[in-house]
Amino acid sequence: MKNIYGLSLEELNLYFEENHEKSFRSKQVYEWLYKKRIKDFDEMTNIKKELIQNIKKHFYIKFPNVIERRSGKDVEKFLFELDDGQRVEAVLMKHDYGNSLCVSTQVGCNMGCAFCESGRLKKVRNLSTSEMVTQILLVEDILKIRISHVVLMGIGEPFDNYENVIAFIDIINEGKGLDIGARHITVSTCGIIPKIKEFMNQEKQINLAISLHAPNNKIRNRLMKINKVYPIEELIKVLKEYIKKTNRRVTFEYILLKGVNDSKKCALELSDLIKGMNAYVNLIPYNETSHIEFEKSSNDSIMKFYDTLKKQKINVTIRREFGSEVMAACGQLRANYEEG
């Protein structure tokens, strides 16, 4: 049996065809699941009971359990427990343009980025498609809101769970499903080049964000193990191919770490690295944690870095700070729960 929230509309169509039912049944079921938000198949009043019994033989409805929730200014953080007892997080951020949910894609992470809390707890397994979809449904149900934007930037590396992530995107983008616009969905990767190449051939209007965090190999090797496999020059080369093929802008995420990557020299190197690309830099103030030695750059250093990029004609923003009081760093709530 399979959690029905892991099925695309096309897969549901195929199920009904194989059971000699009209394909419109799949749209009816999707409406019950995603528009009317049923919790039990028996609530589907326009579907005959025999068919409901057949559906129950193949599929079930299941959500994770919320075991901890923290609230701050314009932010809500959730710790979910999955069927096997593993735990993941999701963070809701309220913006003036809508509600954005940062979704986890794995239990733990093997990328081992030195500054990242979630990487301290190694990858246990990939999340299934339904385990990602139900993060959104559950948060919407609890808060009685509509999530308009989704960011795959929680625990895990999305491109290390590629097939399930693509299936997840298809479901939440489906008009009969959650109907979240493609340009309101962002996939963040630390730079797995083969998957970026695969992704560029998907012909989707999904946003691509790259966790860069350094302007050269020396600093990036210290911060991100992945750079030793796919160094910066190779990453930039494939991103230029991506931009040319998709005509889509790339976001470079850059966490500013005191005394590590926040100097004017680093800003100038970063400018030289990406100048001329259809891209922008998202500067991120660091969420400090008690387990990792890195410190947040001062506000003065952040502004100087920003001003240097601006003077070099680089498109740049500073991400609004969310939720230090709710342990908003990826994996921080989970680690604190499991180690406390």
Residue 287's pLDDT is what? 85
Q: What is the rounded average pLDDT of the residues 109-124?
A: 86
Residue 231's pLDDT is what? 98
Q: What is the pLDDT of residues 262-287, one digit of tens each?
A: 999 999 999 999 999 999 999 999 98
Q: What is the rounded average pLDDT of the residues 309-321?
A: 93
Residue 293's pLDDT is what? 83
In this prediction, residue 23 has a pLDDT band, given cuts at 50, 70 and 90, of confident
pLDDT at 10 > cutoff 50: yes
In this prediction, residue 337 has a pLDDT band, given cuts at 50, 70 and 90, of very low
Show the domains of the chain with their CATH numbers.
2-60 (1.10.150.530), 65-339 (3.20.20.70)
pLDDT at 291 > cutoff 90: no
Q: Which residue has the higher pLDDT, 29 or 118?
A: 29
Residue 118's pLDDT is what? 72
Q: What is the pLDDT of residues 137-149, one digit of tens each?
A: 999 999 999 999 9
Q: What is the rounded average pLDDT of the residues 107-118?
A: 90
Q: What is the pLDDT of residues 63-85, one digit of tens each?
A: 999 999 999 989 999 999 999 99
Residue 339's pLDDT is what? 44
Distance separating alpha carbons of residues 300 and 224, to the nearest angstrom = 25
Q: What is the rounded average pLDDT of the residues 308-328?
A: 80
Task: Please state which of the ranges 154-168, 295-309, 326-340 shows the lowest mean pLDDT.
Answer: 326-340
Mean pLDDT of the chain: 93
pLDDT at 330 > cutoff 60: no
Q: What is the rounded average pLDDT of the residues 222-232?
A: 97
Task: Please state which of the ranges 115-119, 197-201, 248-252 shows the lowest mean pLDDT.
Answer: 115-119
pLDDT at 313 > cutoff 50: yes
Residue 288's pLDDT is what? 80
What 3 state SS string does the chain have?
CEEHHHCCHHHHHHHHHHCCCCCHHHHHHHHHHHHCCCCCHHHCCCCCHHHHHHHHHHEECCCCEEEEEEEECCEEEEEEECCCCCEEEEEEEEECCEEEEEECCEECCCCCCCCCCHHHCCCCEECCHHHHHHHHHHHHHHHCCCCCEEEECCCCCHHHHHHHHHHHHHHHHCCCCCCCCHHHEEEEECCCHHHHHHHHCCCCCCEEEEECCCCCHHHHHHHCHHHHCCCHHHHHHHHHHHHHHHCCCEEEEEEEECCCCCCHHHHHHHHHHHCCCCEEEEEEECCCCCCCCCCECCHHHHHHHHHHHHHCCCCEEECCCCCHHHCCCCCHHHHHHHHC
Q: Catalytic residue positions?
A: 89, 330
Q: Give the pairing of strands 2-3 and 185-189.
A: unpaired
Q: What is the pLDDT of residues 172-216, one digit of tens each?
A: 999 999 999 999 999 999 999 999 999 999 888 999 999 999 999
Q: What is the rounded average pLDDT of the residues 237-249?
A: 97
Radius of gyration of the chain (CA): 21
88: closest CA among 103, 69, 70, 101?
103
Residue 117's pLDDT is what? 82
Distance separating alpha carbons of residues 122 and 109, to the nearest angstrom = 5
Residue 121's pLDDT is what? 77
Report yes or no on whether pTM surpasses 0.85. yes
Residue 83's pLDDT is what? 96
pLDDT at 256 > cutoff 60: yes
pLDDT at 320 > cutoff 90: no
Residue 183's pLDDT is what? 96
